[in-house]
With several copies, the nearest count.
Chain A
Amino acid sequence: MEKYNVQLDSFEGPLDLLLHLIHQAEVDIYNIPVATITEQYLQYVQAMQELELDAASEYLVMAATLLEIKSKMLLPGDTNTDEEVYIEEEDPREELLSRLVEYKKYKEAAQHLKEKEEQGSAQFAKAPTVPDESSGKEKESNLPDNISLFDMLDAYEKLKKRVRYKSPKMTKIKGDDISMEDRMSEVLTYLHQHQGKSGFFELFPLHERQHIVVTFLAILELMKNRQVTCVQSENFEEIVVHQTEEDLVSE
């Protein structure tokens, strides 16, 4: 459930979802197995609905397009007995293909811009020095005629990017981000080192909020994957986490 949610949210539209499915199926974009991809596509859209993600109409239009292509491809090529004419006929996938290729170009360009953005976020500049406006009060009430709202927004955006030096400032010490995957394997390693079981609380060595939350999620995920089981002998008793045999086998 969680997994779906994250993934569905990250698509930028039907073309993006299709590219993802094609990539995942490891098939050539120029030779899309329409039946398979359509089926997967519909599953995703259905999942969106179930998760009440409000599948946008664009996704549904694409679903219709896919179904149409699929049915065209199923039609035997016997409407024209003449071989020559048959070859002249368009591949029903062609239009979709060109849209996908076109979209993919810009998706890649967007990725390139993202890298540039990352670089730029480590560069800072000072505020412009305001000149002394001592003379020419009369002139001042005249406004230049080449300044637009856009210039004001531009100035405001620059301001937002600027660092603010207010001394003295307390530095916040931020812990490193811990990923759930790392924490999952750490938990498994710990269990492995302790004859495959551990008290629940032992798995929370650091009393730091983020660490606790991530560890908790990691344990839930391990339970879901059937890599660990949790046993509580009676109410309020400490939970004991066991490494499952399946997991030991798969190691």
Chain B
Amino acid sequence: MSEEELQGALQGLLYVCGDEGLVVHDAARVLGISEEETTQYLNQLKDWMQLNMPGLQLKNYGSKFQMVTSEEAAPYIEKLAEVPEKNNLSQAALETLAIIAYNQPVTKAEIDDIRGVKSEKAVQSLVNKALVIDAGRAQTPGRPIIYQTTERFLEYFNIPSIQELPDLHESIEEETEEADLFFNQLDEE
């Protein structure tokens, strides 16, 4: 198959899959090439679209690629069609999600502990939104349910993979130095 044919096939597949996204594994099987090659072609297409198609772009998250409209086209789409109400996540849900994302798999008790409040409802709403999934039970006493983020989490926040979440510790380390300084001159009040 020529490169052009391959690109054409991928364009067609991406279009048909729409917001379901095209799984690299499936595309590779259909095209009869390796997953590495497929990813490479998809990344090529992504770059090409960025340069040549101002209205569309390829989004890559987890094992999927998805064709989406670009931000520039959004105002026109909003004028044309009924755009879903922005149902943004609440602060409680976002904090809970951040804790799960960085500590997964994690139990509800651990989340409550970090937030200092009960997170029951926030966790449930994240499960309902398919951003978080019940991933079995911990081997600790009481065998509590453990949670982890889903591929939809990556898609929703446009993050290629969990490894690419920004580092949590960076800002903290500087602060720790300050803390050491402080503890040396302890009793002040």
A122 at the interface (CB under 8 A from B): yes
**With known contacts A60-B183, A163-B82, A99–B116 Cβ distance under 8 A:** yes
**With known contacts A63-B186, A144-B89, A127–B18 Cβ distance under 8 A:** yes
**With known contacts A56-B177, A57-B182, A131-B77, A167–B23 Cβ distance under 8 A:** yes
What 0/1 pattern do residues 189 to 205 of A give for CB contact below 8 A with B? 00000000000000000
| B166 & A141 in contact (Cβ 8 Å cutoff) | no
Of A28, A45, A107, A124, which one neighbours B69 at CB under 8 angstroms?
A124
16 A-B pairs with C-beta separation under 8 A? A12-B92, A13-B174, A54-B176, A56-B179, A57-B177, A101-B172, A105-B172, A109-B101, A116-B157, A117-B88, A125-B15, A127-B92, A130-B122, A141-B130, A155-B95, A165-B80
Q: B residues within 8 A CB of A45?
A: 183
| B91 & A143 in contact (Cβ 8 Å cutoff) | no
Q: Which of these binds chain B: A145-153, A216-224, A233-241?
A: A145-153
| A64 & B133 in contact (Cβ 8 Å cutoff) | no
Of A28, A49, A106, A149, which one neighbours B114 at CB under 8 angstroms?
A106
Q: How far is the CB of A39 from chain B (nearest CB, A)?
A: 11
**With known contacts A12-B117, A110-B91, A149–B183 Cβ distance under 8 A:** no
| B95 & A107 in contact (Cβ 8 Å cutoff) | yes
**With known contacts A60-B179, A152-B97, A109–B91 Cβ distance under 8 A:** no
What 0/1 pattern do residues 104 to 128 of A give for CB contact below 8 A with B? 0111111111101111111111111
**With known contacts A121-B86, A127-B92, A153-B128, A64–B116 Cβ distance under 8 A:** no
Q: Is the interface of A mostly helix, strand, loop or mixed?
A: helix
A137 at the interface (CB under 8 A from B): yes
Q: Considering only CB atoms and an 8 Å cut-off, how many residues of chain A contact the other chain?
A: 96
Q: How far is the CB of B130 from chain A (nearest CB, A)?
A: 4
Interface positions, chain A 12-28, Cβ under 8 Å from B, are 12-16, 28
**With known contacts A116-B158, A162-B116, A163-B81, A125–B129 Cβ distance under 8 A:** no
